[in-house]
A = this chain, B = another copy of it.
Amino acid sequence: MADYENTADGTRPKLPISAVHEAAERLKNWGRWGPDDEIGTLNHVQPDDIVRAAGLVRKGKVFSLALNLDNKGPQGGRTKFPPVGRFNPVHTMLRTGTDAYSGVLDKRGIRSADDLVLLPLQAATHWDGLGHIFYGDHMWNGYDCREVSSFGAAKAGMEKTKEKFVGRGVLLDVARHLKMEFLPPGFAITSQMLEDTAVGQGVQVGRGDYLLFRTGQMEMKMAEGNWDDYPGGDAPGLAFETLDWLQNKEVAAVASDTWGIEVRPNESDEANQPWHWICIPIMGLTMGEIFKLDELAKDCDAEKTYDFMFVAPSLPITGAVGSPVNPLAIR
């Protein structure tokens, strides 16, 4: 760890808000894919990438990267920065096998069960859509932030991505590379660490990749048996400066096993989640949060290969700014 100064020892200097604004100017992708674009860096994936990604399927094994959706999810954790309005998924039945057993369905001529979910879209494993974060009065591609009203997202709704989220996935297992069981809260992952992890793993990250990185924090919380401090609390995660690296790599999306991808406490005293300020509205980079990476990471380590076919279709909820997802890594 001697190689990485100031990552988790509380001595990292805080970013002034001017650094955030400078990054906004430097990294702005508005117009890059035309004035009408609504999907941002998902454009980086080309048909050939999909064909090549399919070529990574060599043993026919599928890994789900999703937590189950139920009342044991992370929103039950108590935390100092509770995410407003999010709660664990509520699943209720509309008809049941006990109705069937009781004979009350027989007048319908069929014994069937149905069900219903009340689901905050960011409750568990999910994609953040490009309507999720604003920069000043604007959203992705320079659209007015008022495009996202109570009527939903008129621009960049999740339904625009319904044929995306297919391509090559790459896992950077940062915790394992650093020989740590999990990265502690406040641990900032730098570009250099991402590079070193890739080199150490013998994998390259490039244009159109779906980049997953593992901190081990989810496994730590699951071992503890409760989610306190996970949603909105301190966490390991990407340093602000990784935004340039991600821009240069031209990844399609980035996802991890934490609540919010970036390191917390915030790197700035003047912005909450400063990395988010740039990633979504400025760069148009979709992010995935609360991905369950443990089993995939073990397999990557065993195989000593870290790429795979990645298929993680969004639910096309019209006007949504997020989507639950069951991301699949197929090897």
A positions within 8 Å CB-CB of B: 46-51, 53-55, 57-64, 66-70, 72, 83-87, 89-104, 108-122, 131-137, 139, 144-153, 159, 162-164, 166, 266, 270-273, 276-277, 309, 311-322, 324, 326-328, 330
Contact = CB atoms under 8 A, between A and B. Distances in A.
Question: So how many copies of this chain end up in the complex?
Answer: 4
Contact of A115 (B48, B94, B121, B272): B121
Contact of A164 (B62, B98, B114, B322): B62
Most buried by B among A53, A136, A146, A151: A151
Contacts of A68: 159, 162, 316-318
A294 to B, nearest CB: 14
A89 B85 CA distance: 11
Given A119-B119, A271-B110, A64 B98 contact: no
Contacts of A49: 60
A30 to B, nearest CB: 16
Contacts of A163: 62-64, 328
A50 B57 contact: yes
A307 to B, nearest CB: 14
A162 B67 CA distance: 10
Given A163-B64, A326-B315, A112 B134 contact: yes
A111 B312 CA distance: 26
Contact of A101 (B95, B98, B121, B272): B98
Contacts of A117: 117-119, 121, 317, 320
Most buried by B among A93, A328, A330: A93
Contacts of A48: 60
Given A99-B96, A102-B102, A145-B97, A320 B60 contact: no
A70 to B, nearest CB: 4
